[in-house]
């Protein structure tokens, strides 16, 4: 069955795909490029600063990000690998497009290196700090089936318990 790219939409907790480990993209094809463009559209419409394959119902190891919100800063990361996290960690409030109205303080390395393929299938490497590094780590978590509710403090988890229950009750497969 052919992928209907125009029908990709944001998936909400507790959709099972959000808990699945994404699979590597075997080749950067025209279809993968169109998916990347569509994911950027969905991210901007939401609005958000990042969006991973599982969040649009695809078990692909790819995400899009634009931490600055500037038009020219849209970027697609295919088969990303994170490495060299800084020893310094920072706590900061995070939210997630797939978990509306839920937020919590998450501790992450303040800087990290990412290696991935771009939409032309070319490998690139970048070092990100602060918000950029946080966005990459957040989206990478989605590729591993990890959500912010798994990383937040127990107090934040308790504070979000009611909203999580409501999302679970409203969920339709």
DSSP 89-141: EEEEEEEETTEEEEEEEEEEESEEEEEEE-TTS-EEEEEEEHHHHHHHHHHHH
Residues 6+ apart with CB under 8 A from 130: 90, 110, 111
β-pair partners for 103: 95
Contact 51, 36 (CB under 8 A): no
Phi, psi of 133 (to 5 degrees): -60, -40
pLDDT band at 172 (very low <50, low <70, confident <90, very high): confident
Please name the helix (run of DSSP H) or strand (run of DSSP E) that holds residue 78, with its range, or none: strand 75-83
CA distance 149 to 159: 11
CA distances to 14, 42, 161, 170 from 60, in Å:
18, 16, 29, 26
β-pair partners for 116: 124
User: Catalytic annotation on 139?
Assistant: yes
Which residue among the candidates 45, 125, 129, 139 is catalytic per the annotation?
139
Domains annotated for the chain, with CATH where assigned, are 5-88+108-147 (3.90.45.10)
CA distance 32 to 27: 8
Q: Check pLDDT > 90 for residue 73.
A: yes
pLDDT band at 1 (very low <50, low <70, confident <90, very high): low
The rounded mean pLDDT for the chain is 96
Contact 115, 83 (CB under 8 A): yes
Q: Report pLDDT for 144.
A: 98
CA distance 39 to 16: 19
CA distance 28 to 136: 20
Q: What is the average pLDDT across 42-69?
A: 97
What is the 3-state composition of the chain as percent helix, strand, coil, each rounded to the nearest 5? 35, 30, 35
Residue pLDDT, tens place only, 133-169: 999 999 999 999 999 999 999 999 999 999 999 999 9
Tokens of 133: 């590094």
């Amino acid at each position: 069955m052919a992928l209907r790219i125009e029908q990709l939409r944001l998936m909400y907790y507790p959709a099972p795909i959000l808990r699945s480990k994404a699979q590597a993209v075997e080749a950067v094809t025209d279809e993968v490029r169109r998916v990347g463009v569509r994911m950027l559209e969905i991210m901007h419409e939401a609005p958000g600063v990042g969006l991973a394959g599982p969040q649009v119902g695809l078990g692909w190891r790819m995400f899009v990000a634009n931490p600055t919100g500037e038009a020219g800063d849209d970027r697609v990361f295919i088969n990303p690998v994170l490495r060299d996290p800084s020893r310094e960690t920072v706590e900061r409030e995070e939210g997630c497009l797939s978990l509306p109205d839920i937020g919590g303080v998450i501790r992450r390395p303040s800087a990290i290196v990412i290696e991935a393929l771009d939409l032309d299938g070319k490998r690139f490497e970048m070092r990100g700090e602060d918000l950029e590094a946080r966005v990459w780590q957040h989206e990478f978590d989605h590729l591993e089936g990890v959500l912010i509710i798994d990383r937040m403090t127990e107090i934040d988890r308790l504070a979000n318990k009611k909203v999580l229950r409501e999302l679970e009750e409203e969920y339709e497969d």
